[in-house]
Amino acid sequence: MTCKIHIRNLALYLVLLVVGFSLGCDVYGQSRIEQKGLDAMEDYDYRGAIDYFYRSKYLTPKGMRGMAISYSRLNQMDSAEKYYLQVINTGFHEIIDLYEYAEVLKVNGKYDEAFHWLAVYSEKRPHDSRVLRQFADPESYNRIIQDTANFELKFLKANTPQQDFGPVRYGESIVFTSSRPQTAPIKREWNWTGTPYLDLFTAEVDSLGDFIDVQALEGPFNSKYHDGPIAFNEAGDLAVFTRNVGSDEGDEGALNFQLFFSKKVDGKWTKPEGMWFNHPNYSVGHPTLSADGKVLYFSSDMPGGFGKSDLYMVKARAEKGWGFPINLGRDVNTEGQEMFPYLHTKDSLLYFSSNGHPGIGGLDLFVGSVDGSHLKYITNIGLPFNSNRDDFGMLVSDDRTNGYFSSNRSGGAGSDDIIRFTERERIDSILYHDPLNVHSAELGDFEYAEGQGDLRGKFVSRKSGPRQCPPQFIQ
């Protein structure tokens, strides 16, 4: 195996060889150990990858980047910061490393440094909408950190050291997603976190808003791999949920998520059917439904999008099945991740999480007003709902005075936790007033060069609006 060392010229390569042999280092053996770490990352085994990287006597910039990414995926951001800086200091970094380093700095609360590196990145990628949004409205950060202290937050007692997130209403009960262990003859764990696979659970709500009588959701919803999040229509007879589909070869490490739906007929849920636009080459998940179940919003990294994952909508056909997915457009979707949509059906508001719009760090919660297949007045809902960690998975009461969201911020039981929020006093708040007068930067004010950098697809003008998913990508 050729040693994977980034070199500018032959002279530098010879120097490295001489130094390696003079120190008695097995350069090629080190590369093999590093490659095992990179291979482990391909299987989402980030803990195993870190172990291999530590065992390597020498890390190339690619290995340092692998270490940084692995720590980031495990939410160990102090270590991720350390290795991103190391790879940047080698001079052999990739341009995207500058952006990822800035994002890690934001998560770690180092905002001045983060904005410095965003500026450096913007010189290399001036057409990235994420930095355009940030620098077009430099005061956005100061606005979103203004906490009115009008909402009380409380971590649920029902949270576990594992992942607990994504509560939704199901009749008078709550259904949520969790990796908490269940009693089973065979305990299954996935590589990424070393915790059980995600399953769907149901709970009742006590007088304090906590979840009680937690048990696995009955019906055909939980499989041997990941299941959840889920969405129901108002009548409770249609469910759409995310499922991790393994390959035919039984590759348990494969992370291909698809959407399935089930209908309740005569009191029993039908066998789940996959959405026709599922595909083994991309993921589809995070559903939310309109009250009548005729409009579905979801997140996907299907081809033709703007970034790592985009928000889409699709309407039920009058005769049968579902129509073509429609991308919500560049005002919503960025080069980053837009995920976990939640439709507040009473007031036609769509909440979602993004790390591409200006935020405090990690995934931030945003809200926009639904206007057909568009979202208008997209706004970061600020503190205390957003933190410098990941905040997502909203559930809001009809009057928007209380509800739940999910976060991996400190103070909880472990990984992702569910937090209840309650309004202390009714004042002007983005949560229950349509965000018509809140300033937010609209991308129609800027020009874009098509196909810049590593963007997938081309930007469309505001006039052309949202786009249908190209049929040639769907089989």
CA proximity to 300, closest of 242, 335, 263, 339: 339
pLDDT band of 374, cuts 50, 70, 90: confident
Say whether 78 sits in a helix, a strand or coil: helix
Q: What contacts 369, CB < 8 A, 6 or more positions away?
A: 348, 349, 350, 375, 376, 377, 434, 435, 436
Tokens of 390: 């990941």
The answer to whether 337 and 308 have CB atoms below 8 angstroms apart is: yes
Structure token pair of residue 394: 């909203």
pLDDT at residue 250, as a whole number: 43
Distance CA 113, CA 109 (A): 9
Closest CA to 153 of 356, 324, 387: 387
In this prediction, residues 389-407 reach a mean pLDDT of 94
Q: What is the pLDDT of residue 446?
A: 33
Superfamily of domain 151-448: TolB, C-terminal domain (2.120.10.30)
Beta bridge partners of 261: 240, 273
Domain boundaries, the chain: 10-126, 151-448
CA 404 to chain centre: 18
Identify which has the larger pLDDT, 176 or 426. Answer: 176
pLDDT tens-digit map of 193-222: 566 889 999 999 999 999 999 999 999 999
Mean pLDDT of 273-286: 95
The DSSP symbol for 198 reads: P
User: What distance, in Å, lies between the first and last C-alpha atoms of the chain?
Assistant: 38
Q: Which residues contact 243 (CB under 8 A, 6 or more apart)?
A: 223, 225, 226, 227, 257, 258, 259, 260, 272
Q: What is the mean pLDDT of residues 391-412?
A: 94
- Round the average pLDDT of the chain to a whole number and report it: 81
The beta strands (E) that lie in 250-381 are given as 257-265, 268-269, 273-274, 284-289, 295-300, 310-315, 326-327, 338-344, 349-354, 364-371, 374-380
- Has residue 242 got a pLDDT over 70? yes
CATH of domain 10-126: 1.25.40.10
Q: Which pLDDT score is estimated for 245?
A: 83
Q: Which of 60-69, 141-150, 348-357, 371-380 has the lowest mean pLDDT?
A: 141-150
- The model carries a pTM of 0.80
